[in-house]
Structure 1
Amino acid sequence: MSTSTSRASYHHGDLRAALIAAAIESLEAGEAFSMRAVAHRAGVSPTAPYRHFADRGSLDAAVAVEGFERMREGLRQAAAELPEGADAVDEITALGVAYVSFALQRPAMFRLMFGNECDDANSERVQASQGLHAVLEQTVVRLFPAADPTSLSTALWGLAHGLAFLHLDGKLRPEPGDEVAGRVRASVAAILALPGGAPTGRTSDRHHPSGARP
């Protein structure tokens, strides 16, 4: 989102959204990130952000919530675009590729989302994070009804998260995109094929990804 978009949002009365957009732009541009800098980018007075955010930490949390919501939508979209007849490896891979791709496309935002200590369990930030995890857990419940959904979804989340940071930190090449997707698929297939792991076949009760399940 451009600076002009942030200012347009403000002039239409949505100052909070404009400030969040400006904060994301500042992060991804590698600029100094402060309340004053965000206000300047949004085209408002230095005191304007304090109408919605008590301090920098509150703004950080709002940016993180926006990131979790965008990522969750990206995972849902990836599931919705799967071809008919896709198997369990295809589905889990699609979610994993969407997760890693988000991290590579929004690296500063991704680091901010996961770079803090755990918030209060009732905070909006934690709830947004749980909503993201729920997309994967619901998929695991549908594909692997005999598995422990919490343990398996946590393992798969850890796999995608680890791959994201391995690419971000330069331990794995972050391009081209098809190579990144290939690594994700190979890793997912390897875990699901482990002895005692979840079976790789899908169940016959497949829900459309646009419904209640992702």
Structure 2
Amino acid sequence: MSTERSYHHGDLRRAVLTAALDVIATHGPAALSLRDLARRAGVSHAAPAHHFKDRAGLLTAIATEGYGLLSTTLGETEDLRDLGVRYVRFAIAHPAHFQVMFQPELLRPDDPELLAARERTRSMLRTAVTGHGDDPAVGFMAAWSMAHGFATLLLSHNLDGPLEGRNPEDTFGALAGIMFRPTGTPSAG
């Protein structure tokens, strides 16, 4: 089924989102153009604006979708190490979403759907950090920084050499085990 035919069946929004994710994954969010996406979808250059209004609206929709996918990936676990592994798994599976979600200058900061999706995800992460350390806010920032930093380094290929073929999720799990060992627990080895 062609993209244009999908549009005629009411699927223009999804077709534009899919094309945008392809562009972002290949060239980054800076390369995104509604006119180019319309051409890819086989519709008039004004058609994507009907769903997204502008580039910021499209990127906000991508970020909102990304937070929903991240929440699903995180699932029901409250194990801090497992959450970090799942965070890295999300970044690997959805690199374009990951790139957009954490660039607030690209998004509509007051979009209610984005705010709700972001808060659901952050709440899941904050709950998992409770009980780790004296200050849950600091624990939240430490855990998020570690998972996000690892995922960012991984996606930008800065860990290709150090990983030496290791599974990124397993490697992150091992790192998290070292970093978030309960206080007073001796290291193994």
Q: State the TM-score, normalized to the length of structure 1.
A: 0.69
Pairwise CA RMSD: 3.2
Q: Give the partner amino acid of 1:45.
A: S
Aligned-partner Cα distance in 2 for 1:36–1:61: 17
Deviation at 1:56, TM superposition (A): 0.9
Equivalent residue, structure 2, for 1:159: 146
> Could you tell me which of 148, 160, 172 is aligned with 1:184?
172
- Whether 1:21 aligns to 2:11 is no
Aligned-partner Cα distance in 1 for 2:66–2:58: 12
Aligned-partner Cα distance in 2 for 1:126–1:196: 38
> Could you tell me which of 101, 113, 122 is aligned with 1:113?
101
Aligned-partner Cα distance in 1 for 2:100–2:133: 35
CA contact (8 A) 2:85 2:172 kept: yes
Aligned-partner Cα distance in 2 for 1:177–1:73: 27
Q: 1:122 to 1:41 in 2, by over 3 A?
A: closer
Aligned-partner Cα distance in 2 for 1:58–1:196: 49
Aligned-partner Cα distance in 2 for 1:168–1:101: 11
- Whether 1:137 aligns to 2:126 is yes
Equivalent residue, structure 1, for 2:156: 169
Q: Give the share of equivalent positions with the same residue, in percent.
A: 35
Q: State the TM-score, normalized to the length of structure 2.
A: 0.77
Which consecutive residues of structure 1, in runs of 5 or more, have no partner in the other structure? 80-87, 198-214
Deviation at 1:20, TM superposition (A): 1.8
Higher helix share: 2
Q: 1:177 to 1:132 in 2, by over 3 A?
A: farther
Which consecutive residues of structure 2, in runs of 5 or more, have no partner in the other structure? none
In the TM superposition, what whole-angstrom CA distance separates every residue of 1:40-92 from its partner, at most 9, and x where no partner exists?
A: 22232111011122211111111111111111111117x4xxxxxxxx7xx32
